[in-house]
Amino acid sequence: MHLTGTVVFWRDDKGFGFVLCDNTAEKLFFHIRDNTDRTERPTQGDRLQFSLAQDKQGRNIAAPWQLMTSQTTSKNKNTSTPSHYPTEGFSIQYAHQIALIFRISFLIAVAAALLFGQLIYVLPLLYVEASIFTYWLYKTDKEAAIARHGNRLTEESLQLFSLIGGWPGAYLAQQQLAHKSRKHQFRREFGFVILGNAMLVIWLFSSWGQAFLSRMALLAN
């Protein structure tokens, strides 16, 4: 690492920013994953020491990089600011617990609507609730990915919530948060999830589906 610069922009929730290089006066992109010292996170105005690399499009970026802070400053930061990683660990653990509760509640709601013959009417509400929750799961997992937290939400879990009706929220999260949007295998599986979900909804509104819903409603009477 032989180049230095000043952080002129930093987006902590996304884990990226731009540093103004002292040597070339070029504004360079840098990402938290390329930080050689994972105990600290930068803020605007911090000084960085970095090497020059290139991204997939051939553009210059600052990687790897580290903060140019004194030991005194580092100690002050560590004592005055809570560590980011325990917070992420708590968020992921919380997400796992809430996801389990949501799955159970969702199945109970679907079963009740099915037995009382109201599934068609409550279906839009179930989609909205599942989409909002799925978006939150993507956001939580994205924050854990930025922090390089080891305990992450599984891709199967994210796809499951898309399958039960949360795929609109998942699609919105992929576009807005840039999470899982570049993994071709995940995107391909996500496409099958949407297709399967659409086929299920079409079947529910078909004559066969309506007959099935009627039989289920009769069982409850």
Q: Say yes or no: 185 and 204 in one domain.
A: yes
In the structure encoding, which two tokens stand for residue 75, read together?
Answer: 């100690």
For 139, the token pair is 């956001």
Dihedral in degrees, nearest 10, Cα atoms 183, 188, 191, 197: -110
Same domain assignment for residues 71 and 113: no
- Say yes or no: 54 and 92 in one domain: no
Q: How confident is the model at residue 145 (pLDDT cuts 50, 70, 90)?
A: confident
Q: What domain range is 16 assigned to?
A: 3-80
Tell me: do 36 and 19 sit in the same domain.
yes
> Residue 170's pLDDT is what?
95
Is 29 in a helix, a strand, or coil? strand
Question: Which range among 1-5, 15-19, 28-32, 216-220 shows the weakest confidence by mean pLDDT?
Answer: 216-220
Q: Lowest mean pLDDT of 119-128, 149-158, 179-188, name the range.
A: 149-158
Residues 68 and 114 in one domain: no
Count of domains observed in the chain: 2
3-state secondary structure (DSSP) of residue 122: helix
Instruction: Write down which residue in 80, 99, 122 finishes a domain.
Output: 80
Q: Do 16 and 44 share a domain, yes or no?
A: yes
Residue 201: what pLDDT? 87
Same domain, 152 and 195: yes
Provide mean pLDDT across the span 187-214: 89
pLDDT for 75: 43
Asked whether the predicted pLDDT for residue 56 surpasses 60, the reply is yes
Domain's final residue, options 80, 103, 126: 80
97-137 pLDDT, tens digit each: 888 888 888 888 888 887 777 788 888 898 999 999 999 99
Q: How confident is the model at residue 91 (pLDDT cuts 50, 70, 90)?
A: low
Beta bridge partners of 52: 62
**Domain stops at, among 57, 80, 103:** 80
| Mean pLDDT of all residues belonging to the chain | 82
Q: For residues 59 and 109, state if they share a domain.
A: no
101 lies in the same domain as 196: yes
5 has a pLDDT exceeding 80: yes
Specify the pLDDT at position 86.
43
Element (H, E) at 175: helix 167-177
Question: Partners of 61 in the beta sheet?
Answer: 29, 53
37 or 33: which carries more pLDDT confidence?
33
Identify whether residues 195 and 89 lie together within a single domain.
yes
Q: What CATH number should be reported for the domain holding residue 61?
A: 2.40.50.140
Cβ atoms 20, 27 nearer than 8 A? yes
* pLDDT (mean) for 58-64: 90
End-to-end CA separation in angstroms for the chain: 74
Shared domain for 44 and 120, answered yes or no, is: no
Taking residues 198-206, what's their average pLDDT?
89
In order of 94, 109, 110, 221, the CA distances from 121 in angstroms are 31, 12, 11, 19
Does 199 lie in the same domain as 92? yes
Q: What is the DSSP letter of 165?
A: I
The confidence score (pLDDT) of residue 131 equals 94
Burial class (CB in 10 A: 0-12, 13-18, 19+), 23: exposed
